[in-house]
Amino acid sequence: GDTGFGTTIGSGDFSNDACGSIYNANWYRFTATVDGAHTVSTCGAADFDTKIAVVASCDDVTGIACNDDGPDCAGMTSSLSFDATAGVEYIVVVGAYASDAAGSGTLSITEPDDGGGGGGGDGEVVLLAIQGNPSFDFGVARDEDVVAIDLTTNEAVLWFDGSDVGLGGFRISALDRLDDGDLLLSFTAGGTVGGVTFDDSDIVRFTPSQLGAATAGTFSLWFDGSDVALTTNGEDIDGLDVLDDGTIILSTQGGHRIGSVRGNDEDLVAFTPSSLGATTSGTFAKYFDGSDVGLATSSAEDLDAVSINESIGIISLSTRGSFAVTGLSGADEDLFDFTPSTLGSSTSGSFAAFVIGSVVGIPSGDDIIGACEF
């Protein structure tokens, strides 16, 4: 909702290590009613140079998120996005960038609609990694970034800025969001970030201290693909979803041979872990056979993003290029839904459109390479 505010010089200041100082500050309590990316903004709605921050409590002012000048916000006003948990109270601080500045404005807090849980298909907010550097109102989304798109308004915000945490030059190939708000990421090439060395068949876990245009947090190795025979170039991870029971659904860039489980780049495999981290172990099984449902006519139909909503039984998918299946066709900037009748080595079901890239501002030819809806 919207709250009018006014500031007075000398009314009190705020400061923490992450955000620096906010002068002549007002403090507001806010309790999230749904999980997901929330936007806090004075963008174009204040008559002075604002600065805003979100902190955990009045006693714990560790920065969750902060912003001085929001992208494309007139008059040096502010906008940020942070990942909130339903039922948790947060403190929003709004004030002036300079000690001698004061004025009035409107503080807006926008929640995502409750899309029914942590899967795909009917979520109101979708997290996307996009290859092609598309431009949104907030600016350019790079290959290392994650964008949150509100499907009720088609508004896009920068949810995760990879360059802030050492990922400049890397390209995300798969992503998922855990229930605790941590982000799982795989990349198109190996490297080191935050002291964690990884390969393109691995998954790293990012634990945020803040998200948005000033992303901060720590990395850890979550899944070591080489421990479980993901070792060839074709076995690089390019799609990822974690089910409620902990089963990990994976797509690979090319064909995979993992023990007795064999498949192609239009298929999905299910990994049931017995351990994760630096010593990963578990078992694989075929989860989705794309060739059974028409996703094998060309390399353009290789799967490169997956998100699953178990509550309604829908698998959301994207492909490397244009695709055509029974009753539906689309391109690499789209997400589409599959409702299975059967899964595994004999897959069957029906398709429907979900996210049309052109509607939410993704240009033709850009490629959704990671997706998570909630």
**Residue 117 lies inside a defined structural domain of this protein:** no
**Residue 119 lies inside a defined structural domain of this protein:** no
- Pick the residue with more confidence: 3 or 307? 307
Q: End-to-end alpha-carbon separation of the chain, Å?
A: 21
Cα 176 to the chain's mean position, in Å?
A: 7
**Residue 305 lies inside a defined structural domain of this protein:** yes
Mean predicted lDDT score pLDDT of the chain: 88
The tens digit of pLDDT for each residue in 161-217 reads 999 999 999 999 999 999 888 999 999 999 999 999 999 999 999 999 888 888 999
Do both 59 and 88 map to the same domain? yes
DSSP 254: S
Whichever domain contains 64, its CATH number is: 2.60.120.380
Do both 246 and 278 map to the same domain? yes
Residue 320 pLDDT: 92
Please report the DSSP string for 127-152 in residue order.
EEEEET--EETTEE--TT-EEEEETT
Please check the confidence at residue 16 and state whether its pLDDT lies above 90: no
The tens digit of pLDDT for each residue in 19-59 reads 889 999 988 888 887 778 888 999 888 888 999 999 988 88
Q: Which two tokens stand for residue 325?
A: 């299946």
Do both 50 and 190 map to the same domain? no
Do both 161 and 26 map to the same domain? no
Do both 260 and 306 map to the same domain? yes
Give the count of domains, the chain: 2
**Residue 115 lies inside a defined structural domain of this protein:** no
Which helix (H) or strand (E) element contains residue 331?
none
**Residue 170 lies inside a defined structural domain of this protein:** yes
Calpha distance 212→82 (Å, rounded): 6
The tens digit of pLDDT for each residue in 216-255 reads 999 999 999 999 999 988 899 999 999 999 999 999 998 8
Do both 88 and 214 map to the same domain? no
Closest CA to 52 of 89, 27, 17, 84: 27
Do both 106 and 129 map to the same domain? no
Please check the confidence at residue 257 and state whether its pLDDT lies above 90: no
Whichever domain contains 163, its CATH number is: 2.110.10
Calpha distance 104→305 (Å, rounded): 44
Calpha distance 113→373 (Å, rounded): 12
Q: Looking at 56, 87, 110, which one is the last position of a domain?
A: 110
Residue 205 pLDDT: 97
Calpha distance 9→25 (Å, rounded): 9
- Pick the residue with more confidence: 3 or 85? 85
Q: Looking at 62, 82, 110, which one is the last position of a domain?
A: 110
Residue 184 pLDDT: 97
Do both 199 and 295 map to the same domain? yes
Tell which phi-psi region holds residue 220, choosing left (phi > 0), alpha (psi between -120 and 50) or beta.
beta
Q: Per DSSP, what are the bridge partners of residue 197?
A: 192
- Find the DSSP H helices in the chain: none
Determine which of 89-93, 121-125, 160-164 has the lowest per-residue pLDDT on average.
121-125
Please check the confidence at residue 113 and state whether its pLDDT lies above 70: no
User: In the predicted model, what is the mean pLDDT of residues 127-132?
Assistant: 93
**Residue 353 lies inside a defined structural domain of this protein:** yes
The tens digit of pLDDT for each residue in 131-172 reads 999 999 889 999 999 999 888 788 888 999 999 999 999 999
Do both 64 and 136 map to the same domain? no
Confidence of residue 120 (pLDDT cuts 50, 70, 90): very low
Domain extent at residue 196: 125-373
Q: Which residues, other chains included, contact 59 with Cβ-Cβ below 8 Å and sequence gap of 6+?
A: none
Residue 224 pLDDT: 98
